[in-house]
Amino acid sequence: MYCENDEDKLHDECGVVGIFGAENAASKVYFSLVSLQHRGQESAGIAVSDGKHITLKKEIGLVGDIFKESDFEKLQGNIAIGHVRYATAGGRTIENAQPFLNTFKMGSIALAHNGQLVNHAELRAMLEDGGSTFSSSSDSEVILKLIVRKYIENGGHLGTPGDEDNSRELNKKSFTDAVVQTAKLIKGSFALCVMTEDMLIGVRDPNGIRPLCLGKIDCPVKPDNDTSSRLDGDTHAPDGDTGEPDNESAVIPRLDRGIPYILASESCAIDSVNGAFIRDVKAGEVIVITQENIRSINYAQEKKETCIFEYVYFARPDSVIDGISVQEARYRMGQVLAEEAPVEADIVIGVPDSGLGAAMGYARASGVPYGMGIIKNKYIGRTFIAPTQAERESMVFVKLNAIRSDLEGKRVIVIDDSIVRGTTSRRLVDILRRSGAKEVHFRVSSPPVKFPCYLGIDTPSKNELISSTHELEEIRKEIGADSLAFISLKGMIKAFGADSFCKGCFSGLYPV
């Protein structure tokens, strides 16, 4: 009657957020991080600038457990970035928690990163050869050190008496250039929020593998009518104020100086602070926010290949990524799946929470009634234990439970978003049968996962991926279903009505 979940999924690395120009920026970042908590539960942190100094707090744990009211008395300022981190095996150390903060010649830089570099080792070696030191094994720290080095090379201006304003401006340019130069050097997936004492910069990799979007706060009117949309418009016709082709940038004076901006991994974080979504940061784009203006710099040819698993599993259904609603995408994958792999049945159910959307779509397209079928216990957190060895196995019965009245004597279609190792699926089918299901038809709203990810997703090795080692019929037998079908890669593309995604884990073909 029950089933374990979660352990048998791919997992994302983190969530990032940055806010510029808001009173109590840290507490707004706190709210945003709670809304991004699903992207990582290992550690969380917030760095905030009061214009002169950056203060940082980061710890192991959930956002809600880490930050107390008294913390916000110290986390004062109008510019802040935040980070939540996913717990990869064995890596629960405070050293790898983000944001990273470095203080040096020109001041301080804090950085939050979602993604993974493929040329991390080479860059770290290069930096180490140049004398850099690291306090963690994180590739995110490598990005920070690169920015620092470029900033120094660009010649930070420490200010001359009587000319502080000018040097400040020169510094802002040096720093922006350093971020752009770094973005060109690093390869892989990256969505970054980087801040100095008086700037906030967002960066997305040239393939836009990891998501990042831009919004405004305290602006309840529809974004269409508002000045910020000019940024969106202008970037299609960027003004060429620099000679360098990749430095084409759209500068929007912040006439609306009082309006705070927000950068976040998902649009649900913008909603969490009652903000208004403006647009996604483009692949290969740098967004620079200062007190004076907000600029867009296209540092690389955009070749959009958003990680398709953001839609399949990682993102929250209420987020919109690169113009596509996550929930809508899940409906459509379910619909296509119903077309590709129909079966007569009495009920369609989804595996909570990420299988629900596809199940709803499948139900709509097939006409088979949608039901709940399975429920997940939401009170199971990190402190939940199995007091005796014997009970370790039965922990799964506490996590998931079947709803017998939905299943007994019925032909059941169960939709999961993906199959990774297959262990969960087998247990799930068993549970459905024990709860009286007459037939169990397993449908998967993503194609078979056959290849590990090198761009930030925690995947088991190839020979642990059941679709890599088994044929479809073998898998069906293994999990004990009456029938089994995956959506086709073609069908998935059809569902999206586009093909601008990284599908490396299905195809073995990676953008980088």
The residues assigned a catalytic role are 14
320 lies in the binding site for its own copies (CB under 8 A)? yes
229 lies in the binding site for its own copies (CB under 8 A)? no
135 lies in the binding site for its own copies (CB under 8 A)? yes
Hey, what are 21's tokens?
């120009």
For its own copies, the closer of residues 54 and 231 by Cβ is 54
Which residues, 6+ apart, have CB-to-CB distance to 126 below 8 Å?
A: none
Stretch that binds its own copies, among 233-241, 321-329, 465-473, 502-510 (CB under 8 A): 321-329
Stretch that binds its own copies, among 95-103, 304-312, 440-448, 458-466 (CB under 8 A): 95-103
For its own copies, the closer of residues 414 and 453 by Cβ is 414
Number of residues counted as binding its own copies (CB under 8 A): 94
For its own copies, the closer of residues 103 and 242 by Cβ is 103
152 lies in the binding site for its own copies (CB under 8 A)? yes
Scanning residues 110 to 129, which ones bind its own copies (CB under 8 A)?
Answer: 125, 128-129
Strand ranges in 230-311 using DSSP code E only, listed in sequence order: 249-253, 261-264, 276-280, 285-289, 293-298, 306-307
443 vs 415: CA distance, rounded Å: 5
Sign of the dihedral defined by the CA atoms of residues 171, 172, 178, 181, in that order: negative
Strand-pair partners of 111: 100, 194
- Compute CA 238 distance to the chain's CA centroid, rounded to the nearest angstrom: 28
Q: CB of 372: closest distance to its own copies in angstroms?
A: 6
Which residues, 6+ apart, have CB-to-CB distance to 72 below 8 Å?
A: 24, 26, 27, 30
Cβ distance 374 to 402 under 8 Å? yes
For its own copies, the closer of residues 220 and 243 by Cβ is 220
Scanning residues 7 to 46, which ones bind its own copies (CB under 8 A)?
Answer: 23-24, 26-28, 30-31, 34-35, 37-38
233 lies in the binding site for its own copies (CB under 8 A)? no
For its own copies, the closer of residues 18 and 215 by Cβ is 215
136 lies in the binding site for its own copies (CB under 8 A)? yes
Pick from 163, 242, 384, 477: which binds its own copies (CB under 8 A)?
384
Burial call 76-113: b when 16+ CB within 10 Å, e when fewer? bbbbbbbbbbbbeeeeeeeebbbbbbbeeebbbbbbbb
Pick from 172, 279, 316, 443: which binds its own copies (CB under 8 A)?
316
64 lies in the binding site for its own copies (CB under 8 A)? yes
Pick from 258, 381, 409, 497: which binds its own copies (CB under 8 A)?
381
Q: Give residue for tokens 């699903």.
A: 38
Q: CB of 19: closest distance to its own copies in angstroms?
A: 13
176 vs 247: CA distance, rounded Å: 11
For its own copies, the closer of residues 20 and 100 by Cβ is 100
229 vs 210: CA distance, rounded Å: 23
For the beta carbon of residue 201, count every other beta carbon within 10 angstroms: 29
- How many Å from the N-terminal Cα to the C-terminal Cα in the chain? 43
Hey, what are 463's tokens?
């020979």
Which residues, 6+ apart, have CB-to-CB distance to 267 below 8 Å?
A: 213, 215, 277, 318, 319, 320, 321
Interaction mask 159-198, its own copies, x per CB under 8 A: ----------------------------------------
For its own copies, the closer of residues 34 and 209 by Cβ is 34
Scanning residues 358 to 377, which ones bind its own copies (CB under 8 A)?
Answer: 360, 363-364, 369-372, 375, 377
Interaction mask 268-287, its own copies, x per CB under 8 A: x--xxxx-------------
Pick from 206, 334, 355, 357: which binds its own copies (CB under 8 A)?
357
The distance between the two most distant Cα atoms of the chain, rounded to a whole number of Å, is 84
Q: CB of 268: closest distance to its own copies in angstroms?
A: 6
488 vs 444: CA distance, rounded Å: 10
391 vs 388: CA distance, rounded Å: 5
For its own copies, the closer of residues 33 and 286 by Cβ is 33
134 lies in the binding site for its own copies (CB under 8 A)? yes
238 burial level (CB within 10 Å; 0-12, 13-18, 19+): middle
